[in-house]
């Protein structure tokens, strides 16, 4: 039983940063903006979170710094694509490039310094419960944030007026604009929210997952988060499921190896990517489903007529 | 130790008359690294060696380096640039730099080149490497003593001879203490991916291993051991800061003495391409202070370390291959050539070598 | 409250079309100067080493050509995709597959020599790249799967496949178990252009030829018109009788073939064998090159050279001043940001409401203090 609990906990840790970054990007894409800079914002969050923790000694301040770093960095993207109507794909890619470079420069003095890990939740009595105790009451704080965030985004998008407005902007910015909705303002807020989430995901990497700073430590997780959003056909609860499936495949291949299953490790390592493609295909085959959820104006620049 | 090494180098160099270098007032020595010097692992340790050279030789030398140089055409250019910018002695620290270095060395016969972990040499190109496997034998013995489950988790990067050699040596060491000792092996296909190394460590612990060994460079696996109250070994640099309660010792590389000796030789005009494989006795392979273990285990580890420093080779027969066929006869010692091309497991390794 | 508004110009501004790259470059230089100053280096010294020194020696010009060739070759192909509003961002994978496919000849048939070897390799390289690019094209046309994500995922798969090949079945049996194939025989190596002067090989010529051909295709032929129409308005394209699915295949196959050609040229010209890693991210950098060159094949040649220069310059400041190699990446990021931002001026006038300013500096000012913009 213990091993199952341990494996589930490991999967949760692997899935949490993917989930948070993907939920943020989901909101961005629902507003009709495609930000390919998730990897860059994530790594900035990681360096910001570690740096603040290192300088202040408090991982909680680090947590806030990671969020702030991601949000501020995403502003750059927002100004470019929303105010200056630049191409979103190219701008997002440059954001990633810039983030990887800047974080490396900023982090030079943090290399080789042990970090401070955010403490796990501990509730006397509850955490000690067999099996469910550690799963429900013994994980790191960001895990709980990630679940709450998913629920909140779900509620926001589908149960609130503002959420409806946001989705309508994603579906057609021109009609939304015609209705007097402030398209650009909504999109700014969505992009900044996405940046904050990506930053938090990065903070998870440098404050929980592996409490340290090393260059390129996001190791492509931002890209996986992007894939997850499409994988989930822009549905929050499916992002949650997808992140955990992804985490399970990831951890599962390591377990398969440790069990001694003789498959080339390169093949096992490529499984998550192939799985994403397969799921993308399965999802997009269902035209009705895709049409219903895909923000129709995704990736198109919007400049209001005067 | 350092002096001995220098003396050794200079005498061998003096004996041969093929002196390629001229004595110079100020010598520019340069390094090419494959990773960022911020990896706190392999490239970081080489750069520490460069800094040691600056410290030891002061204003007699000038150093420069290029980091994050990918293997391929960029490497050609990196070496060519340094050669043209007046570097007199250039160290390439990654296996993949071998052919670029051979090419550029041919073009600049006056410049001295050194290449780590490769096998091709030339009149102005020497090679050097470290016998990490010596240290891994000691790790194996400690693991067998310290593990209650009798199972170690072994995180590895790529199935190249150096890594295979390390697994074999570790297992020989472990089985010299506990013949039934097992290691579970996970290939992460990367030298450096903290997240993946942490996940691999967790998976291995979950499957019953209670000690972690790694042939990857990050501190992540040890941090997992620390969190779980289990033990492990560091790699490349001393990682005690990251795992004060978990690190038993760390298998570290210290390139400083070697680099100093080579730069000094170049300054003296006695540099000559060498082919050295440095081990514990040369101070290039070091075990970080033994911590978190009882005194008798520590004493055993120190004894083994000394035995190896005195010239004993962990690959001394009788040793059988994984399938049971004999490899080394009783008392027979593996030759360096076989070790450097090692692509098979010894008996007792519970894994299939990726082909 | 001060805010920024874009006012669409009746037609694209010829003035800013010409000026914007220079404004962008000037802004990059200013930002770069600040960055160097913060790093404690005299900006003038740094710029001299970064931009001037690498092009003041013949051997470095050759290196520039080597570095620029794959970038140009890939970016030229991508420009067709992007013009057609098709988002192939998996050129890195197509590059790798091209390298692998072309290498089949010298690796599997090392005895086969003669003048036929190279053409066959180059052809196979193009076929390999195109075939790999056909996967996202097929998935997009058959199932409507988003090509950005599938092409990207396939990059990782290609990298791992190459890794497996050179560590497993294709490993040089005499190579001490190290992960690389045998060295190609002489007739499988792309010759250097001027061996006495530097290392530049025919790959650079391929890049220039490809740029010119694609430029002719795009500006002088019906196919180019079709690409542009479908790219700007799929609906209008359909009315004109242009097939969107055919276009997806055309763009992917063309860009895949060029990326594959770049891959095999790199492997056979600059490396001479297959290794676990054959590209330092050329496929991704080329996306930037494509945009820097404004998706115009001739502009891409210039952009490829500029970007190659930022790499060489990055190395030069690193070895001369000991500045981290991250500088090069930050520089590239900034350059691209400024170029994208300034290109806005071609189609729009920018005005700051509250201040009667319509000057281009408005763009820079806004970078510093972004304000929310209200639609009306």
A39-53, A240-254, B136-150: least confidently modelled range: A240-254
pLDDT computed for residue A292 by the predictor: 62
Asked whether the predicted pLDDT for residue B9 surpasses 60, the reply is: no
Structural domains of chain A ordered from first start: 2-293 (1.10.3470)
Q: List, by residue range, all CATH 3.40.50.2300 domains of chain B.
A: 2-131+254-282, 132-252+286-340
Q: Is the pLDDT of residue C374 over 60?
A: no
CB pairs under 8 A between A and B: 107
Average of per-residue pLDDT across C222-229: 83
Q: CA-CA distance, C285 to B225, in Å (whole number)?
A: 39
Q: What is the pLDDT of residue C375?
A: 31
Average pLDDT of C29-38? Answer: 89
Which range has the worst mean pLDDT, A232-236, C80-84, C131-135, C359-363?
Answer: C359-363
User: Measured between CB atoms, does C328 come within 8 Å of chain A?
Assistant: yes
| DSSP symbol at C187 | G
Strand B125-130, strand B112-116: pairing: parallel
| Percentage of chain C exceeding pLDDT 90 | 35
Place of tokens 């006397």: A124
Alpha carbon of A117: minimum distance to chain B alpha carbons (Å): 10
C360 pLDDT exceeds 50? no
- Tens of pLDDT, residue by residue over A70-87, are 999 999 999 999 988 888
pLDDT of C103 over the 60 cut:
yes
Name chain C's partners: 3 or more CB pairs within 8 A: A, B
Taking a contact as any Cβ pair under 8 Å apart, which residues of chain C between 88 and 117 contact chain A?
89
User: Average per-residue pLDDT in chain C?
Assistant: 84
pLDDT score of B318 more than 50: yes
Q: What is the pLDDT of residue C358?
A: 42
Q: Which of B27-41, B46-60, B287-301, C350-364 has the lowest mean pLDDT?
A: C350-364
Kindly tell me the burial class for residue B131, based on how many C-beta atoms sit within 10 Å of its own C-beta (0-12, 13-18, 19 or more): buried
Q: How far, in Å, CA of A138 to CA of A134, rounded? A: 4
| Contact criterion met (CB below 8 Å) for C269 and C73 | no
Residue of chain B whose Cα is closest to the Cα of C159: B189
**pLDDT at res. C177:** 66
In what helix (H) or strand (E) does residue B182 lie, and over which residues does it extend?
A: strand B182-187
B329 to chain A, any CB pair closer than 8 A? The answer is no
The reported pLDDT for the residue numbered B3 is 47
Q: Is A130 exposed, middle or buried (0-12, 13-18, 19+ CB in 10 A)?
A: exposed
- Domain B132-252+286-340 CATH (choose: 3.40.50.2300, 3.40.190.10, 1.20.59.10, 3.20.20.70): 3.40.50.2300
Closest-CA distance, B195 to chain A, in angstroms, reads 6
**What's the pLDDT band for A289 if we cut at 50, 70, 90?**
low
Cα angle for residues C330, C334, C336 (degrees, 5° grid): 120
Kindly indicate the confidence band of residue B173, based on its pLDDT and cuts at 50, 70 and 90: very high
Band of pLDDT at residue C357, cut at 50, 70 and 90 = very low
Higher pLDDT, residue B18 or C115: C115
Task: Give this complex's ipTM.
Answer: 0.83
Q: B279 is written with which tokens?
A: 């081990």
pLDDT at A90: 83
Best B64, B73, B91, B117 residue to mutate vs chain C (most C CBs within 10 Å): B73
Rounded average pLDDT over A155-184: 91
Angstrom distances, CA of residue A129 to CA of A122, A150, A279, B119: 11, 26, 37, 58
Percent of chain B residues topping a pLDDT of 90? 59
Residue A243 pLDDT more than 60? Answer: yes
Closest CB to B184 among A112, A211, A258: A258
pLDDT in tens, B230-268: 999 999 889 999 999 999 999 998 999 999 999 999 999
What CATH architecture does domain B2-131+254-282 belong to? 3-Layer(aba) Sandwich (3.40)
Q: Residue C221 pLDDT > 90, yes or no?
A: no
* CB-based burial, C228-251: b 16+ in 10 Å, e otherwise: bbbbeeeeebeeeebebeebbbbb
| Residue-level pLDDT at A277 | 85
Q: How confident is the model at residue B12 (pLDDT cuts 50, 70, 90)?
A: very low
Q: Lowest mean pLDDT: which of B189-193, C55-59, C203-207, C312-316? A: B189-193
Question: Looking at residue B28, what is its pLDDT?
Answer: 93
For C147-203, the pLDDT digits (tens) are 887 898 899 899 989 988 988 889 888 776 677 888 898 888 888 888 877 788 899
pLDDT of residue C196: 78
- Contact: C164, A303; criterion CB under 8 Å: no
- pLDDT confidence band for B198 (50 / 70 / 90): very high
At A276, phi and psi to the nearest 5?
A: -60, -45
| Span C286-296, average pLDDT | 88
- Give the pLDDT of residue C263: 96
- Chain A residues 232-261 with CB within 8 Å of chain C: none
Q: Do residue C161 and residue A87 have CB atoms under 8 angstroms apart?
A: no
Question: Per residue in A100-147, pLDDT tens?
Answer: 889 988 888 888 788 888 888 888 888 777 778 788 888 899 999 999
Output C325 or A197, whichever has higher pLDDT: A197
pLDDT tier, B317 (very low <50, low <70, confident <90, very high otherwise): confident
* Strands laid side by side in the B285-287 sheet: B182-187, B151-156, B211-215, B231-236, B247-253, B285-287
For chain A, say whether B51 makes contact (Cβ under 8 Å): no
pLDDT at C373 over 60: no
Q: Give the confidence band of C354 by pLDDT, cuts at 50, 70, 90.
A: low
Most confident range (mean pLDDT) of B150-159, B296-305, B343-352, C192-201 is B296-305
pLDDT at C372: 33
Mean pLDDT in chain B? 87
Contact A210 B218 (CB under 8 A): yes
The three state secondary structure string of chain A is CHHHHHHHHHHHHHHHHHHHHHHHHHHHHHCCCCCCCHHHHHHHHHHHHHHHHHHHCCHHHHHHHHHHHHHHHHHHHHHHHHHCCCCHHHHHHHHHHHHHHHHHHHCHHHCCCCCCCCCCCCCCCCCCCCCHHHHHHCCCHHHHHHHHHHHHHHHHHHHCHHHHHHHHHHHCHHHHHHCCCCHHHHHHHHHHHHHHHHHHHHHHHHHHHCCCCCCCCCCCHHHHHHHHHHHCCCCHHHHHHHHHHHHHHHHHHHHHHHHCCCCCHHHHHHHHHHHHHHHHHHHHHCHHHHHHHCCCCCCCCCCCCC
Res B309: pLDDT:
93
Q: Does residue B284 contact residue B77 with C-beta atoms inside 8 Å? A: no
Query: What's the confidence (pLDDT) of residue A109?
Result: 83
Nearest residue in C to B38, CA atom: C324
**Six token digits for residue B317:** 């027969």
Mean pLDDT of B60-81: 87
Contact A46, A213 (CB under 8 A): yes
Name which residue leads in pLDDT, C346 or B262: B262
CA B314 to chain centre: 16
Q: Which residue has the higher pLDDT, C266 or B352?
A: C266
Residue C365 has pLDDT above 70, yes or no: no
Tens of pLDDT along A9-65?
999 999 999 999 999 999 999 999 999 999 999 999 999 999 999 999 999 999 999
Amino acid C253: pLDDT = 96
Q: Domains in chain C, please, with CATH? A: 67-307 (1.10.3470.10)
Cβ-defined contact of A90 to C288 (cutoff 8 Å): yes
Check CB contact of C161 with chain A, cutoff 8 Å: yes
């Amino acid at each position: 039983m213990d091993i199952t609990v341990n494996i589930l906990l490991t999967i949760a840790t692997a899935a949490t940063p993917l989930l948070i970054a993907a939920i943020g990007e989901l909101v961005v894409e629902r507003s009709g903006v495609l930000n390919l800079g998730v990897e860059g914002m994530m790594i900035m969050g990681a360096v910001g979170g570690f740096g603040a923790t290192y300088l202040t000694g408090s991982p909680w301040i680090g947590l806030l710094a990671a969020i702030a770093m991601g949000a501020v960095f995403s502003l750059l993207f927002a100004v470019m694509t929303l105010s200056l109507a630049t191409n979103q794909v190219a701008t997002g890619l440059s954001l990633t490039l810039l983030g990887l470079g800047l974080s490396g420069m900023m982090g030079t003095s943090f290399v080789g310094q042990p970090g401070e890990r955010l403490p796990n939740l501990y509730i006397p009595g509850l955490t000690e419960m067999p099996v469910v105790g550690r799963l429900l009451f013994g994980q790191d704080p960001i895990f709980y944030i990630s679940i709450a965030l998913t629920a909140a985004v779900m509620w926001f998008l589908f149960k609130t007026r503002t959420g409806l407005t946001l989705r309508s902007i994603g579906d057609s910015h021109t009609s939304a604009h015609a209705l007097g909705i402030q398209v650009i303002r909504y999109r700014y807020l969505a992009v900044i929210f996405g940046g904050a989430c990506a930053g938090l995901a990065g903070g998870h990497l440098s404050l929980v997952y592996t409490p340290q700073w090393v260059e390129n430590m996001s190791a492509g997780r931002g890209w996986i988060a992007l894939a997850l959003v499409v994988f989930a056909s822009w549905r929050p609860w499916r992002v949650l499921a997808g992140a955990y499936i992804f985490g399970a495949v990831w951890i599962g291949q390591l377990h398969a190896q440790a069990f001694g299953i003789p498959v080339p490790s390169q093949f096992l390592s490529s499984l998550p990517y192939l799985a994403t493609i397969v799921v993308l295909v399965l999802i997009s085959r269902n035209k009705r489903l895709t049409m219903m959820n895909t923000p129709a104006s995704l990736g198109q620049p919007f400049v209001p007529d005067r | 130790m350092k002096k001995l090494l220098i003396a050794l180098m200079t005498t061998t160099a003096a004996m041969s008359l093929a002196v390629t270098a001229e004595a110079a007032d100020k010598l520019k020595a340069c390094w090419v690294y494959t990773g960022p010097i911020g990896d706190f692992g392999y490239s970081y340790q080489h750069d520490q060696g460069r800094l040691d050279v600056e410290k030891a030789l002061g204003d007699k030398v000038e150093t420069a380096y290029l980091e994050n140089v990918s293997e391929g055409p960029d490497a050609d250019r990196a070496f060519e640039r340094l050669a043209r910018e007046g570097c007199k002695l250039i160290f390439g620290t990654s296996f993949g730099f071998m052919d670029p270095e051979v090419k550029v060395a041919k073009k600049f016969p006056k410049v001295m080149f050194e290449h780590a972990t490769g096998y091709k040499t030339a009149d102005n190109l020497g090679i050097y490497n470290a016998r990490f496997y010596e240290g891994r034998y000691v790790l194996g013995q400690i693991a067998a003593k310290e593990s209650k489950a009798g199972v170690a988790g072994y995180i590895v990067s790529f199935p190249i001879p150096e890594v295979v050699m390390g697994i074999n040596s570790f297992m020989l060491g472990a089985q010299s203490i506990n013949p039934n000792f097992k290691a579970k092996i996970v290939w992460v296909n990367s030298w450096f991916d903290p997240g993946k190394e942490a996940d691999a460590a967790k998976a291995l612990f979950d499957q019953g291993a209670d000690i972690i060994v790694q042939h990857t460079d990050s501190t992540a696996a040890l941090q997992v051991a620390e969190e779980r109250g289990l033990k492990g070994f560091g790699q490349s640099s001393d990682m005690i800061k990251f795992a004060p309660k978990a690190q038993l010792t760390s298998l570290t590389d210290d390139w400083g003495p070697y680099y100093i000796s080579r730069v000094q030789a170049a300054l003296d005009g006695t540099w000559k391409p060498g082919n050295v494989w440095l081990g514990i006795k040369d101070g290039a392979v070091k075990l970080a202070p033994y911590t978190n273990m009882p005194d008798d285990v520590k004493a055993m580890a120190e004894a083994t370390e000394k035995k190896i420093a005195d010239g004993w080779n962990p690959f001394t027969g009788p040793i059988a291959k994984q399938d049971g066929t004999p490899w080394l006869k009783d008392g027979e010692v593996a030759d360096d050539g076989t070790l450097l091309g090692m692509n098979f497991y010894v008996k007792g390794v519970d894994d299939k070598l990726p082909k | 409250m001060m805010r920024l508004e874009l006012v669409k110009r009746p037609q694209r501004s010829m003035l800013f079309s010409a000026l914007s790259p220079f404004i962008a470059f000037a802004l990059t230089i200013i930002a770069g100067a600040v960055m160097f100053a913060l790093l404690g280096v005299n900006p003038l010294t740094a710029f001299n080493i970064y931009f001037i020194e690498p092009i003041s020696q013949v051997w470095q010009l050759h290196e520039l050509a080597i570095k620029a060739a794959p970038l140009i070759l890939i970016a030229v192909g991508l420009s067709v995709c992007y013009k057609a509003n098709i988002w192939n961002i998996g050129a890195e994978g197509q590059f790798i597959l091209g390298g692998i496919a072309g290498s089949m000849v010298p690796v599997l048939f090392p005895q086969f020599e003669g003048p036929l070897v190279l053409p066959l390799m180059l052809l196979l390289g193009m076929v390999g790249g195109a075939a790999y690019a056909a996967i996202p094209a097929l998935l997009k046309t058959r199932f409507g799967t988003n090509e950005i994500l599938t092409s990207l995922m396939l990059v990782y798969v290609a990298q791992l496949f190459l890794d497996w090949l050179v560590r497993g079945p294709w490993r040089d049996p005499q190579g001490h178990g190290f992960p690389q194939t045998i060295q190609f025989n002489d007739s499988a190596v792309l010759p250097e252009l001027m061996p006495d002067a530097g290392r530049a090989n025919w790959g650079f010529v391929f890049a220039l030829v490809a740029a010119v051909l694609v430029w002719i295709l795009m500006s002088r032929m019906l196919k180019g018109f079709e690409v542009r129409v479908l790219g700007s308005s799929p609906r209008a394209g359909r009315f004109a009788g242009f097939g969107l699915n055919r276009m997806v295949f055309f763009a992917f196959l063309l860009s895949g073939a060029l990326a594959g050609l770049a891959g095999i040229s790199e492997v056979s010209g600059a490396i001479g064998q297959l290794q676990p890693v054959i590209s330092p991210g050329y496929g991704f950098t080329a996306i930037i090159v494509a945009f820097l060159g404004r998706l115009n094949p001739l502009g891409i040649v210039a952009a490829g050279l500029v970007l190659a220069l930022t790499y060489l310059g990055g190395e030069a400041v690193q070895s001369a001043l000991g500045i981290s190699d991250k500088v090069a990446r930050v520089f590239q990021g900034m350059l691209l940001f400024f170029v994208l931002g300034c290109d806005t001026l071609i189609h729009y006038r920018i005005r700051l409401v509250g201040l009667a300013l319509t000057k281009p500096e408005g763009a820079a000012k806004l970078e510093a203090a972004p304000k929310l913009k209200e639609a009306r």
